[in-house]
Every structure is written in C-alpha cells, then in structure tokens.
C-alpha cells in the first residue's frame, strides 16, 4: 500500500472514531435528561398565559379601605351599562345558566334555569322568587379588593365599568359567594378545586385589564394555584 493510501485509510478511521464518540455523547445526554424525570423544574407559563401575566403585575401592599362605599363608588347593583335593555344580573344569568326560561312577557328577566356552580361543583336549580339568592353574581375581583389595589384613584365611570364587566362576573352559589365576601386569593379559593385555575386566571385577567396590583400574599397564592396548570389561558370575557 502506498504512503498516500495508508494516510487516507488512517484519516477515515480517525473520522469514524470521532463520529462514534459524538454519537455516544448525544445518547448519554438524552439518557441523563430522561432519567431526571420529575426532578426537572417545570416550564414557565406559555406566553399570554395567566402565569406569565401574573409575573408582570405590580406587587405591593394593599391600600387603606378608608372611604370605600359600594354604591357611592361603584354604582348601584345592577345597571344596564351596555344599553341592551337588560340589567347586568340578568345578562349574567342568561350567560351562565343552562336551559334558562324568561319571565312571561319579559325579554330580559330570567325566571328559572340550572347552574352548574363553579365554586362548589354542585348543580343548583334557580327559580326567581323567595330563593332567588340561591344564585348570586360574584365579582371575581371583589370591589373592596379593587378599591384597595388601585381603584380608589379612579373616576366613578371606570369603577362602574369594572362592577358590571362580564370579565369580572360569574354566577355562583349564593352562600359560597357570601362566604368569599371581599377576600382575595390568599384568603379564599373555590371549594371546587377543579375550578381554581380558571378562577385565579380570571382574577389575573381583571387585574391586568384594569391595571390593579396584587399584594405579596395574593401573588404567592395565585402562583401556587397555577403551578399545577402553568399554561392556563387568560379568559377574554
């Protein structure tokens, strides 16, 4: 064999050895990644998700409750802010109840319907009358919470807007709504754990839309919920 041929053969063998070594390193790397399994840190929320939006909300302590008055500051309940002929409560009942029936001769007032209550997971048969309060319309971000996280500095028109914004409203079990009161996510979450991700995502959507801040405890509670659903989307309405 000539010297040139011998040199070419040695070069090919060297190249083969290098390729084998690279392949081995790739396989080893894949094995290590796979073997880490659940020990690998979870991915951050997808862009546009509730978790990603939470990260950009201002975090600071709540302001004082001084001066808060529900009707004076946020308007009477419920108004027809979209001029569709129905007040906000009936708009939300029509949106959230299944098989709703309107009062005879009325194109707006809901007489009955069925609510798959998101807060308790129970089914509630709504019927207008003495037990109308079995189904209430909850402000997902309570108006008191809004007041202490930025709304105190707004004009009344903007406060009336958030008080009647469908994004911030949901039909729910009356006693559960009363139990929530003005509590934030650090103090109250729905009994129905399957709804908690959606609930917190809606609160974050409202806070982002109206440029409200979250308290440190509220932020941490929201983040804790969203760790189990990091890609939970923000509701649009």
Question: What's the pLDDT tens digit per position in 20-70?
Answer: 443 444 344 443 333 333 333 333 445 589 999 999 999 999 999 999 999
CB 163 within 8 A of CB 127: no
**The length of the chain, given as a count of residues:** 237
pLDDT of res. 195: 98
Q: Which of 161, 148, 138 is nearest to 209 (CA)?
A: 161
> At 231, phi and psi to the nearest 5?
-105, 15
pLDDT of res. 48: 80
CA distance 198 to 51: 11
pLDDT of res. 39: 38
pLDDT of res. 222: 98
Q: Which of 15, 74, 50, 82 is nearest to 209 (CA)?
A: 50
Return the sign of the alpha-carbon dihedral for residues 233, 222, 161, 112. Answer: positive
pLDDT of res. 97: 98
What residues in the chain have per-residue pLDDT under 50?
1-9, 11, 14-15, 17-45
Q: What is the pTM of this model?
A: 0.80
pLDDT of res. 13: 53
CB 169 within 8 A of CB 127: no
CA distance 126 to 93: 10
Q: Which of 168, 175, 176, 178 is nearest to 234 (CA)?
A: 168
pLDDT of res. 8: 46
3-state secondary structure 74-121: HCCCCCCCCCCCCCHHHHHHHHHCEEEEECCCCCCCEEEEEEECCCCC
Instruction: Return the domain boundaries, the chain.
Output: 3-38, 46-226
């Amino acid at each position: 064999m000539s010297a040139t041929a011998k040199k070419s053969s040695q070069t090919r063998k060297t190249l083969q050895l290098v390729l084998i070594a690279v392949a081995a390193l790739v396989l080893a790397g894949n094995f290590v990644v796979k073997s880490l399994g659940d020990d690998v840190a979870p991915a951050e929320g997808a862009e546009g998700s509730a978790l990603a939006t939470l990260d950009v909300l201002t975090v600071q302590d709540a302001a004082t409750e001084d001066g808060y008055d529900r009707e004076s500051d946020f308007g009477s309940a419920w108004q027809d802010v979209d001029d569709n002929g129905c007040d906000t409560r009936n708009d939300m009942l029509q949106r959230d109840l299944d098989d709703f029936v309107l009062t005879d001769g009325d194109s707006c007032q809901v007489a009955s319907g069925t609510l798959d209550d998101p807060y308790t997971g129970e089914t509630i048969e709504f019927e207008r009358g003495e037990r109308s309060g079995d189904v209430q319309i909850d402000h997902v971000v309570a108006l008191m919470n809004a007041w202490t996280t930025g709304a105190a500095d707004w004009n009344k028109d903007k406060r009336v807007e958030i008080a009647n914004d469908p994004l911030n409203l949901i039909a729910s079990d009356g006693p559960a709504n009363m139990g929530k009161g003005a509590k934030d996510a650090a103090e109250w979450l729905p009994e129905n754990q399957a709804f908690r991700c959606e609930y917190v995502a809606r609160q974050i959507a409202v806070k982002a839309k109206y440029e409200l801040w979250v308290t440190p405890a509220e932020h941490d509670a929201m983040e804790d919920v969203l760790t189990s659903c990091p890609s939970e989307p923000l509701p649009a309405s």
